[in-house]
Amino acid sequence: MTLPAILPDWMPWWAQMLLWLAAVVVGIAWVIAPFIVIGLRARLAYATEQLDEVQAQLRMIAQRMPEPISAARYEALRSAMAREAAPDV
């Protein structure tokens, strides 16, 4: 079997065919890759729009929430609740 001179003569024919098959697969992937990227752009744009909507909804929810209490106010409330719950002795 005579194949191009790129491959050495000592290499078995099945190894040469395997290398050629791998080269063909890589070549096909190289040709198809730009079309795959074009398809991804639309999906990424859609995902970005959805993410923007979710962030806007989270901002609206965060604006409706009350302000968090300070640590001093929390301690005062906690001690007042503890006094109420403590039995009178």
Main-chain dihedrals φ then ψ at residue 86, nearest 5 degrees: -75, 140
Query: Model's pTM, two decimal places?
Result: 0.42
Name 16's Cβ contacts closer than 8 Å, sequence gap at least 6.
3, 7
Indicate the pLDDT class of residue 5, thresholds 50, 70 and 90. low
Indicate the pLDDT class of residue 3, thresholds 50, 70 and 90. low
